[in-house]
Structure 1
Amino acid sequence: MIGKLKGTIEEKQAPDLLLDVGGVGYEIQLPMTSFYQLPEVGGQVEIYTHFVVREDAQSLYGFVARQDRQLFRELLKANGVGPKLALAILSGLTADQFVTLVQNGEANSLTKLPGIGKKTAERLIIELKDRLKNWSAPLLTPFTDAVPVDMVTESPLISVADPTEDAVSALMALGYKQTQAQQAVKKVGQDGLSSEELIKLALKSML
């Protein structure tokens, strides 16, 4: 099991990261709440990881904070939740915000996340409420900014030709439909915004 990696960022294209660790490049998928906190390409970063092995693929998921990985693992234990859905959940909400919604039984709020219908939301609350009752992190008010604006890196992603296309592609990778992603990015689009800023604003607008 690969539990943690520390290395140099070679490439980043949300939600994917290529991390050089001693000459070995690790491809890692991160939720956007972690991706926002990455330094620019060439910077050093320490990532907590979770390795998923399936018959048709081996995937590595990464998190800046240990508590995010903890919640990711709890989500994978829930019926019907795979890595892609767990990644989408932690892209739209911080771990603390998700725990708040579960503990308050706010199923309607959870349905605003991609891939979560009413039945799935209700099942998540039933399955996770007891398991998360001793969550150690302080709880936050749902749907405030997932990450403070000053934590969003100002450096562009590797693909900088069209930040709008990059943002739409990232949202689709997180489970949003193409039309939904395009509309959200168009709604918040402003000249001069980076892909990461567009993604952050688009996610906020859909919650």
Structure 2
Amino acid sequence: MIGRLSGVLLEKNPPQLLVDCNGIGYEVSVPMSTFYNLPAIGERVVLLTHLTVREDAHLLYGFGGAEERNVFRELIKISGIGARTALAILSGMSVPDLAQAITLQEAGRLTRVPGIGKKTAERLLLELKGKLGADLGGAPAASSDHSADILNALLALGYSDKEASLALKQVPAGSGVSDGIKAALKSLSRA
């Protein structure tokens, strides 16, 4: 298994790279988040990698950091999510944004990524809940559950994603569901 590449960056054609490692050129597909942080052509680059072996190809995927690679690996474990879709998700949203969407169970944020429909987004939320959101979201599980309940209540009342998310930020930490909804509604009535 190829876990890391260190070499000279020869070509950059999104999302493909060509990296020269001591005379051997490796073609690597990277998410746009990694692509934007690459050095100039001719400079040294270090990428963490994931090798996928298929009947018809050996495909190498590169990442700027371990967190991004770990998320990629979690994504491709999900039935119906291939490497291209996982790269699209990581290109469309940062790892902390993805973790927050999972923690708060916000399917709407995932459907903004090209190629992700409502059913796929819901499956991602279900499969990754507790695996990704809790680890990377930074919020304790109990308060994130209350946040999700409060957010869902506001959405059910007809508020937009943006309004509900802004109101949720005004809710004091550690609030229960009913107190949180009351605080969110107060902040919405002032707006």
Tell me the TM-score normalised to structure 2 length. Answer: 0.70
Match of 2:163? none
Equivalent runs, 1:1-207 vs 2, <5 Å: 1-136=1-136
TM-superposition CA deviations, 1:27-69 (whole Å, max 9, x none): 0000000000000000111100000011122100000111000
Pairs aligned (count): 139
Identity in percent: 49
Asked whether the 8 Å contact 1:96–1:138 carries over to 2, the reply is: no
Distance in 1 between the 2:133 and 2:97 partners?
14
Cα displacement (A) at 1:134: 3.9
Distance 2:113 2:9 in 1: 29
Q: Secondary structure at the match of 1:80?
A: coil
Hey, what's the Cα distance between the residues in 1 that align with 2:58 and 2:39? 26
Q: Quick one: structure 1 residues 81 and 46, their matched pair in 2 at CA, closer, same or farther if it must change by over 3 Å?
A: same
Structure 1 contact 107–122 (Cα < 8 Å) conserved: yes
Q: Cα distance, 1:94 vs. partner?
A: 1.1
Q: Following TM superposition, by how much is the alpha carbon of 1:135 offset from its aligned partner in structure 2, in angstroms?
A: 1.8
- Which deviations, in whole Å up to 9, do the C-alpha atoms of 1:97-121 show, x marking residues without a partner? 1111111111011111111111110
TM-score by length of 1: 0.65
Structure 1: segments with no counterpart, 5+ residues: 140-207
| Alpha-carbon offset, residue 130 of structure 1 | 1.5
RMSD after superposition: 1.4
| Structure 1 residues 137 and 23: CA distance shift in structure 2, 3 A | farther
Distance 2:138 2:41 in 1: 31
Q: Please list every run of 5 or more consecutive structure 2 residues that lacks an aligned counterpart in the other structure.
A: 140-191
**Is residue 31–residue 90 contact of structure 1 (8 Å, CA) maintained in 2?**
yes
Q: Does the Cα contact within 8 Å between 2:103 and 2:137 map onto a contact in 1? A: no
Which structure has more relative contact order (CA 8 Å, sep 6+)? It is 1
Measure the CA separation in 1 of the matches of 2:44 and 2:73.
Answer: 25
Q: CA deviation at 1:125?
A: 0.3
The structure with the largest alpha-carbon Rg is: 2
Aligned partners of 1:19 and 1:28 also within 8 Å: yes
